[in-house]
Amino acid sequence: MTDEIQRYHPEQVRVKLTMQKEVSLHITDAYRRRFPNLSFGIGTVQNCTYIEKSEAFKLYKRELLRKMRRRSNLAQIQERINLYDPFFKEWGYPCPLPGHLNRTIEMGFPIVNLYIDTHIIAEMCHGILMAIQDLDRFHGPWRLHLAKEGETFQGVSGRMISCKEEEIVLRDETGTVCSLFQGPDFRTKVDASSRNIVVYIFTAPGIQEEQVSNGLQLAIEILQKFGNGVDSWWKVFKP
């Protein structure tokens, strides 16, 4: 698989995935006009096995943490996170990435389960904003769009989330599945029964496509190596 980034135009983009559902992403005109330089990355892995603890995974995380903590790597990660932070603040939201990075430096990667750990590891190793969700709980085509003032959806914690005018959101046929600034929804969250997994990355001004690709590929590598996932696919879309 190459790291080639493909450029797309206003029309709808359809991607056929081997042995899985067709995923359709439409980047709306409103999004392209408002955020013409913010790319969006998607990656999928099929038939994963949920695990909570693994000695091999623990050793793997330890080695990644050692590399992440190197001064040169840490400086690059911090630089990318510093691109997200003011973007969040501009919209009146706190950015979770600085806090996650500080905790990771001090305490290491979390030990929750394969899916949550994968998400945090990929974020922290590459300084990007990632979500991980159950692909089978999405319905129909995807749309990268801008919210209307007061638009609501149920967040992953169960509480109702209200969006601001032109806040970046991801939608499927049923409704909003994620807000860049406020996180994913409850309906598509991963749990122990999830097998077909999707990760995706929102960007901030200054985040490069290569960094998005690297984050997607790391998440996929982990899900394949420790969850025995198969038939992986990833792509970075430009408005």
Confidence of residue 107 (pLDDT cuts 50, 70, 90): very high
Task: Please indicate, yes or no, if residue 39 is contained in any of the structural domains.
Answer: yes
How confident is the model over 184-236, as pLDDT tens digits? 999 999 999 999 999 999 999 999 999 999 999 999 999 999 999 999 999 99
Contact 130, 198 (CB under 8 A): no
Task: Please indicate, yes or no, if residue 3 is contained in any of the structural domains.
Answer: no
Task: Please indicate, yes or no, if residue 4 is contained in any of the structural domains.
Answer: no
Task: Please indicate, yes or no, if residue 5 is contained in any of the structural domains.
Answer: no
Task: Please indicate, yes or no, if residue 2 is contained in any of the structural domains.
Answer: no
pTM over 0.85: yes
Q: Domain residues for 54? A: 11-238
Task: Please indicate, yes or no, if residue 201 is contained in any of the structural domains.
Answer: yes
Contact 227, 49 (CB under 8 A): yes
Task: Please indicate, yes or no, if residue 1 is contained in any of the structural domains.
Answer: no
Report d(CA 153, CA 187) in Å as an integer.
Answer: 10
Give the CATH number, domain containing residue 107: 3.50.40.10
Task: Please indicate, yes or no, if residue 223 is contained in any of the structural domains.
Answer: yes
How confident is the model over 173-196, as pLDDT tens digits? 999 999 999 999 999 999 999 999
Contact 202, 168 (CB under 8 A): yes
Number of domains the chain contains: 1
